[in-house]
Every structure is written in C-alpha cells, then in structure tokens.
Amino acid sequence: MGGTSARTKPAEDEIWPEAGGNAGRGRTKILVVIGVVVVLIVAAVAAWLLLPSGGEEDKADAGGASSYVPDVYVPQSPGQSAGKVTARKTDTRPFTEGEVFDEMKQTTYRNYTFQLKDSDVTDDCASAVWGKLLTETLARGECTQIARGAYLSKDGTGAGMFVAINLVDQRAAQQVLNALDPELKGGFVRTLAVDGASADFGSGFTAAYSQAIGHYVIMSWVGRADGGTPDAMNELIDTSLAVQKPEEFAWGRIVLLDPR
C-alpha cells in the first residue's frame, strides 16, 4: 500500500516556493505547528477513507522489516527564511548525536510523553534508507548525514521515529521531501527497533510529516506501539509533535548563525 500524501508529482526539477518572510521566530514556529496540524488532519482523513484492505501485506512487499512506508505522508513547504542554514556552505559543522538527542531523551506534547529508546547518526546515507529513487536523490543532494531516533511513549502505547537529513542546500532538501512520497514507491527511511513496542514500527498504520528547515530534512513518523489503528487521527497528530522535538537543533543553528 502506498501512503497518501498532499503531493505526488516526482518531477526532478520541481521545487517548492521558498519562504521570504522575516516574522519573529517564536511566532513563526507557532504558525508552522498550526499549519502542520491542519494539513495532517486533511491528509489523514483522506488516507482513512481510501485505505484498502490487505494494506499491511503490500507494506511488507517494500523490502523487509525495516523497509516500511507511512500510510499518511505530509510534506510541508518552508515557513520562513532559514538564514545561513539555507545552505551547508554557511553551516559547515556536522551535527552530532549529542547535539540532536542529548536534550531530547524525553519529549512531551500535550498529554503525550516519549522516551528515546535508540538513536543513530551515520555518514553513510544510503545505509539508512531503501529504494532507488530516494537513494539517488540523496546522492544528488550531497547527503552527508542521517540521524534517526526511536521513541516510545511513557505509557507504552505510542511509538515514533525522528529523522534529520543533512543536505547541500534547501533546494536539495525539498527534492528529498518529494522523493520520500510513498506514492512514488521510491523508498523511505529505514526504521530502528523501538524497544518496548509489541510490533515492528511501521508495520501498522502510521503517519509521517516532513519539512525542510534550511538544508535539513526533518521528519517525525508515528504510530501505535502495537501496530493498531488509532481511534482518531488527533492521537497521531499530537504524538508527531512530541516526536519532532529534536528538530530544535536546527532552529538553534538558525539563531546561532544569524542572531537578530
């Protein structure tokens, strides 16, 4: 089963509009979160209505236990200028596992608290993904790093993956957002094992949303720990906003490199 997304065109030169506003960062982040929630609700409802039977068998055909795709995939266009983080040439320092995850071993949004169960940062981008289109798009975008973090909710009901990808510039990041679209059947990020989850992460109903923060692709991918379908999509919306919290490293770099 391919995921449902807001975008399906794979054109290699298709680039989303770049943001040009200079609004305050705190206000912009709030607006971005609101926009994500609205778009995810719309896409989730569409996926729920169009979800065919036998979908889990189709998912397994993707290539193995770590080769799943989300049922709902929502890429976001940039919400603001990323300043010097727009390109790696002005943000040259590689991220580290500590920078991304040390302050994010526990994350919370509303009633959901998640704990980091495993993390990995690799400079072998091809090893952290599967699929020809995605692998080739990462290579064209000069991918140098992929960070992945596996999260389990404190009550054991929810599971999630945080992903950050280091690319040459924002244009390359936006092309990777397109290549991740499950409708293209071009591959996705390989999952990490979520210790304490009763099902392989990705094997059940999941939702992912991604965005470009400058030259970084940021993605949160969430589902139930038992692989079941949630009673309401609000559950996955809220858990995704908890799992995405390690994105703070990218926002921090924007402030550090371009203080205002």
pLDDT in tens, 72-98: 999 987 666 788 999 999 999 999 999
- How far is the C-alpha of 247 from the C-alpha of 220, rounded, in Å? 9
227-246 tens-digit pLDDT? 999 988 889 999 999 999 99
Q: Which tops the pLDDT comparison, 154 or 1?
A: 154
Cα 83 off chain centre by: 21
| Res 260: pLDDT | 66
Structure tokens at 228: 């079941």
Can you give the three-state secondary structure of 3-66, one letter per residue? CEECCCCCCCCCCCCCCCCCCCHHHHHHHHHHHHHHHHHHHHHHHHHHCCCCHHHHHHCCCCCC
pLDDT at residue 21 above 90? Answer: no
How confident is the model over 142-163, as a mean pLDDT? 98
pLDDT over threshold 50, residue 7 = no
Write the CA distances from 143 to 74, 85, 137, integer angstroms.
21, 15, 9
Average pLDDT, stretch 23-38? 44
pLDDT of residue 48: 46
Q: Is the pLDDT of residue 174 over 50?
A: yes
pLDDT given for residue 53 in this prediction = 36
Amino acid letter, 200: D
For residues 91-107, average pLDDT: 98
d(CA 249, CA 218): 11
Q: Quick one: tokens of 58?
A: 């189709």
pLDDT band at 179 (very low <50, low <70, confident <90, very high): very high
- The average pLDDT across 134-158 equals 98
What pLDDT was estimated at residue 81?
Answer: 77
Mean pLDDT value of segment 115-128? 98
Give strand pairing partners of 107: 114
Q: What does the pLDDT read at residue 163? A: 99
53-62 LR contacts (CB < 8 Å, sep 24+): 54/1, 55/1, 56/1, 56/203, 56/204, 58/1, 58/2, 59/1, 59/202, 59/203, 60/203, 62/130, 62/188
pLDDT (0 to 100) of residue 258: 79
pLDDT at 8: 35
Q: 35 falls in which pLDDT band (50, 70, 90)?
A: low
Contacts of 32 (CB under 8 A, 6+ apart): 76, 79, 80, 211
Q: pTM (2 decimals)?
A: 0.79
Region 92-108: mean pLDDT is: 98
Does 33 score more than 50 pLDDT? no
The proportion of the chain whose per-residue pLDDT surpasses 90, expressed as a percent, equals 67
Residue 143 has pLDDT above 50, yes or no: yes
How distant is the alpha carbon of residue 85 from its chain centre?
A: 18
Q: What is the mean pLDDT of the chain?
A: 82
**Is residue 62 predicted with pLDDT exceeding 80?**
no
Distance CA 80, CA 28 (A): 7
